[in-house]
Amino acid sequence: MPIQFEDARNRILDAAGTLDPEQAQLLDAVGRVLAEDFHAPWDLPLWDNSAMDGFAVRAADAASGKELEITGYIPAGGAELPPVAPGCAVKIMTGAPIPPGCELVVPVEETEERDGRMRLLKSLRVRDHIRFKGEDIAAGARVLPAGTLLRPPEISLLASFGQSLVQVHRRPRVAILSTGDELVDLGMLPGPGQIINSNIYSLAAAVRDAGGDPQLLGIARDNLKSHRDKLARGLKADVLITSAGVSAGDRDLVRDVLAELGVEQKFWKIAIKPGRPTAFGVKGETLVFSLPGNPVSTMVTFEMFVRPALRKLQGVTPAVRPFAKARLAESIRKRPERVQFLRVQVRLEEGRLIASSSGDQNTGIVRTMIRANGIAVLPAERDRFEAGSEVDVLLLD
Ligand code: AMP
Ligand code: MG
């Protein structure tokens, strides 16, 4: 009996832990998850500084129409700070340290400058246009808790504090194996009955996109020896993904050989279309996904089952990306008792997402996968969806 979609995904996520931390170069940490709390080692900003190009003045001199003598200049990076005397102004650039006596900065746009003097065109108040020490982040604050996904803003923050190395969860090493006597490698022309092993590339691309480190194991031929050798190698990785050879054909050897190698099968067959014969098992810490071989089925089952597992291994939460709600542009019929993954084109119309079928939904048709920017998940119970009904869509870009 096939198991239900949600059940399959939950069993996979239950089996996936979070990989150990490792030290990574700052730029190699983008898209990864911080493995320990990060506390600010110092105040940000480190000292009071100007928020504008302008003039440092005293509060008593900051009245509209007042004329002040320009007695100094502080560029960004300037370390010499001429004090601001009464009746005087010091020219100051954005980011430059605030000199003694300065109580506010007058932006250059609000002044007129002539012959070494400046005139204020507007009254300002004490503290205006100054960025104060520690106003962004105070020294010691827990700015990034463990579990934070490192996006460009977090990278910016870590860089501001001089962190060239960070502790993040390790990337999963993902072995990828194709199976089948009909397959030839890239660079060869397919002979009679042969096709090129495209799945290994779509899977490697998807693994890399999901933050994993793909390891291409090539092709296992449809005999026991070849399967044993290649699958045994694959079981050394954190995750092993195979494609094809998992249905009920005479030469579908993947599950039998995995069992022989000590993989505990958690399930085989899910009530979904495409992707029904998908199997999942574990050996020690290694997660083993046996995906079907039709290129569309391989890609769709990767999105639905493997990507969430790779996220969980890397500590990304939520492991399952949120679905968007979209309205169907046309009515759809489907078989009941299984979830259907519909390749769709999603567009925004008057603030609402509208999903329309990207065309022929046959599992043999890759073209409509390419035309799709989403996968609508049509629940098992229903067999008909009227145009305008709301469905969950996994957005692919
Ligand atoms: P199987 O499950 O072995 O019967 O394979 C199902 C279908 O997927 C067949 O049409 C295969 O030719 C195709 N297929 C299997 N492996 C690959 C692959 N690596 N790349 C592209 N198509 C494949
Ligand atoms: Mg096969």
What is the distance in angstroms between the CA of the first residue and the CA of the last residue of the chain? 34
Measure the CA–CA gap between 308 and 321, rounded to whole angstroms.
7
Give 199 Cα–ligand 1 centroid separation in angstroms: 8
CA 337 to mean position of chain CA atoms: 33
Structure tokens at 246: 């998992």
Residues recorded for the chain: 397
User: Mean pLDDT by 10-residue block, N- to C-terminus, for the chain (397 residues)?
Assistant: 97 98 98 98 98 98 98 96 98 98 98 97 98 98 97 98 98 98 96 98 98 98 98 98 95 97 98 98 98 98 98 97 97 96 97 98 96 98 96 95
pTM of the prediction? 0.92
Residues 6+ apart with CB under 8 A from 177: 200, 217, 218, 219, 220, 230, 231, 234, 240, 241, 242, 243
Give 63 Cα–ligand 2 centroid separation in angstroms: 83
Measure the CA–CA gap between 245 and 315, rounded to whole angstroms.
31
Give 148 Cα–ligand 1 centroid separation in angstroms: 39
What pLDDT is stored for residue 397 in this prediction?
84
CB 338 within 8 A of CB 271: yes
**97 pocket-lining for ligand 1 (C-beta < 6 Å):** no
Measure the CA–CA gap between 361 and 381, rounded to whole angstroms.
20
Q: Residues 62-120: pLDDT tens digits?
A: 999 999 999 999 999 999 999 999 999 999 999 999 999 999 999 999 999 999 999 99
Measure the CA–CA gap between 315 and 309, rounded to whole angstroms.
10
Which-ligand-closest: CA of 180?
Answer: 2
CA of 219: how far to CAs of 85, 149, 181, 231, 373, in Å? 79, 35, 9, 10, 30
Pocket test of ligand 1: the residue of 176, 183, 201, 278 to mutate, having most ligand atoms within 8 Å of its CB, is 183
Which-ligand-closest: CA of 202?
Answer: 1
Give 292 Cα–ligand 1 centroid separation in angstroms: 7
**194 pocket-lining for ligand 1 (C-beta < 6 Å):** no
Ligand 1 atom nearest to CA at 200: 19
Which-ligand-closest: CA of 195?
Answer: 1
